């Protein structure tokens, strides 16, 4: 039997898929092993502290992706309208190819809530802050920017719920498109 050598990041990607499909609690070691082909030995080699370690690594990977693909472009944008629209496009593509599930949002439910409360709070707070900053630089009325940013992120998260509930990808697209319009309108 050939030994398939993988590294930690391969495992993180595979774990993310399982957690998105089955949830963190019900993604048991057995189904992880079965769906990813990664044995218990490898799992505990990469994640010595077990499931909590796996969840932490997956969350960190998602966070890094958003830092790079969403937050940093917003931070460094010179054209706010273009940056906001780019965010909408990137976010829509991201969730469309990832089971329409936000792992950070999933972590606000259930027992593990407290375990990752700090990471979850930071993810959403940073997203809101960086978006509000872009809006302000784009000319949005200062006191309005924060509310607009919270509403936009909430629209995205609520959109994921609605699109899963109604099992219709177009629902998410519509919600994101209209949220984007509201942001652009505030940029005058």
Closer by beta carbon to a copy of itself, 61 or else 157: 157
**Contact flag: residue 27 with DNA (CB under 7 A):** yes
Q: Can you tell me which residue has the tokens 């595979």?
A: 14
Query: Which of these, 58, 80, 54, 59, lies nearest to 140 by C-alpha position?
Result: 80
Choose the one of a copy of itself, DNA, none that binds residue 51, judging by a C-beta under 5 to 8 angstroms depending on kind: DNA
Query: Which of these, 128, 127, 175, lies nearest to 150 by C-alpha position?
Result: 128
With contacts defined by CB under 8 A, how many residues of the chain interact with a copy of itself? 40
Nearest approach, Cβ of 119 to a copy of itself (angstroms)? 10
Angstrom CA distances, 100 to 37, 50, 138, 142, 160, stand at 23, 26, 30, 32, 6
Could you tell me which residues come within 8 angstroms of residue 70 by beta carbon, excluding any fewer than 6 positions away?
A: 87, 90, 91, 127
Contact positions with a copy of itself (CB under 8 A) in 135-154: 147, 150-151, 153-154
Integer Cα distance of 116 and 59 in angstroms: 9
Which stretch in 28-36, 74-82, 88-96, 157-165 sits in contact with DNA by CB under 7 A?
Answer: 28-36
Query: Which residues lie near DNA (CB under 7 A)?
Result: 1-8, 25, 27-31, 38-42, 44-46, 48, 50-52
Query: Which residues lie near a copy of itself (CB under 8 A)?
Result: 22-23, 25-26, 101, 104-106, 108-111, 113, 117, 120-121, 123-125, 147, 150-151, 153-159, 161-162, 164-167, 171, 174-175, 178-179
């Amino acid at each position: 039997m050939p030994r398939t050598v993988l590294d930690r990041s391969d495992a993180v990607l595979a774990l993310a898929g399982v957690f998105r499909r089955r949830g963190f609690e019900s993604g048991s070691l057995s189904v992880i092993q079965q769906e990813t082909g990664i044995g218990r030995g490898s799992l505990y080699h990469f994640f010595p502290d077990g499931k909590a370690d796996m969840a932490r690594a997956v969350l960190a990977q998602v966070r890094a992706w958003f830092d790079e693909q969403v937050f940093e472009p917003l931070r460094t944008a010179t054209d706010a309208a273009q940056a906001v629209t780019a965010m909408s496009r990137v976010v829509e593509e991201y969730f469309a190819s990832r089971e329409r599930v936000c792992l950070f949002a999933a972590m606000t439910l259930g027992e593990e809530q407290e375990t990752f409360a700090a990471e979850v709070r930071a993810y959403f707070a940073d997203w809101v802050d960086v978006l509000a900053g872009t809006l302000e630089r784009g000319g949005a009325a200062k006191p309005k920017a924060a509310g607009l940013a919270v509403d936009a992120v909430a629209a995205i998260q609520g959109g994921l719920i609605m699109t899963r509930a109604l099992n219709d990808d177009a629902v998410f697209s519509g919600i994101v498109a209209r949220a984007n319009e509201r942001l652009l309108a505030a940029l005058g």
